[in-house]
Structures are given as C-alpha cells and as structure tokens.
Amino acid sequence: TGAGRGIGAAAARGLSEAGFAVALLDVDGEAASARADEIGGKALGLRCDVSDEASVRSAMAAIVGEWGRIDLLHNNAAVFFGLAGGNDGLLETLDLDTWRRTLDVNLTGTFLCTKYAMPQLIQTGGSVVCTASVAGALTGSTVSAYAASKGGLAGFVRSLALNYGPKGVRANAVCPGAVLTDMSQHIREDPGLRQRVMDTIPVGRIATAEDVANVVVFLASPAAAYLNGVLVPVEGGVVLA
C-alpha cells in the first residue's frame, strides 16, 4: 500500500525484481498505475483508500481475482502532518481532525488491509511486512499523532506474530528514520534542517527509499523465514547515537 511513490514504490520494484507479482495500491490510483507500468511484467496498479473498509475489501478481491492468491502484504500507506504542517506536536495545536486522519490511515488502514488479506496469507503461508518508524516504535518523538500511530503499529505487528505465527504467517516491520521521499519534503527543501538531520545519523547520510525497500524485500524472502515479530531499524544508527 502507499505504492504510488516513495518507499512503497521502491518496495514494489524490489519485490518484482525478486520474482513477485506485485499489486501497487495507492489512494492516488493514477500514480499506482503509472508505477505499475514502469515496473512492467506482473504488476497491477489499483486505487485503494486504506482507511475505507469497502475500498480495501474491493482491492483485495481484485488481487485474488487477478492472481488467485496473496503471499505478501506490505502495509506502507501513511500520512504525516508534522513539522511542515505545524499541527502535529503539542496538544495545544494538534486538532482532532489531524489526530483522527493520522490514525485512520497509519493504524486503522493497516488493520483493515491485514484483516482482508489474512485469509489468503494463511492459505499461502505468507507474511506481513509493515512500515513502522523509529518515531514511536523505537524512540521518542515530538510529532505526537504520527508517533502514536507508529507505536500502535509496532504493537499490532507483535500481536500478529503471536496470533498468526502458529498458522504459518509471519509479521515483521521496518522502522525507518529520516528518508528522502515526498513525505520528508521539508527536509529536502531546507538545507540547514537537512544538515542537522544528517548530523544525528552515524553513517552520515539520510536514507533513500531503496534503503528501506531492500529490507522489506529481505523480510519477505525465504532468508527471513525464522524472523517473526521483529522491528528492524533502518536508520543508520540513530537509535544508538
């Protein structure tokens, strides 16, 4: 999900190169279709609003109709209203609509997609990979709604691992720090902020979408067959600094 751009698009490309047929879901259906056309082969672009149950149910049915199975779900769709928007942080300035929208997409959307993919994943012995974040999942964060959603996502992944591991379905998460995508436009456009962010990262650079996608592909592969309920930091060592 969230495959029209950024980490989701990079993961779709990586998974396709690894031999998966990939369905790219995004609330921007045109972007999803464009990325699918770029990938070529067995790639399908679909419009899906992960916060809308009917939309999720329809998308999962379309995937099964196209290929007859689901082996992997990458829950990646997310919204972030912090820093640039200025309304996700202190409770005095965080409005209820922003709080609800953040949790609707980042957390409830993950629940809905997993709920409707799970019957297929049980049949195929598949896996779930979620894009969480160091914010909320592994460290503290000042962007409260986003951190709450990603912290909740970490707990959800662990619950999936316990509940569905015995049914043959693994669940893991990648936890990126700063990544150069559309969501981090405020970092790209502010050289001073970008340098301050890089100064906090031991490897000395900000992650690319491909850095995160590579770990998603690994977690989806047979090489990760014994990993279940793991939150993998993809942040260049920030949590150690």
- Cα separation values, 57 from 47, 66, 112, Å: 12, 14, 8
Across the beta sheet with 231-234, the strand order is 72-75, 127-131, 170-176, 231-234
Active-site choice (116, 146, 164, 226): 146
Q: What angle do CA 197, 203, 204 make, to 5 degrees?
A: 45
Q: How far is CA 38 from the centre of its chain?
A: 21
- Is 146 a known active-site residue? yes
β-bridge partners, 173: 130, 231
Q: Please say whether the beta carbons of 63 and 118 come within 8 A.
A: no
Residues catalogued as catalytic: 146
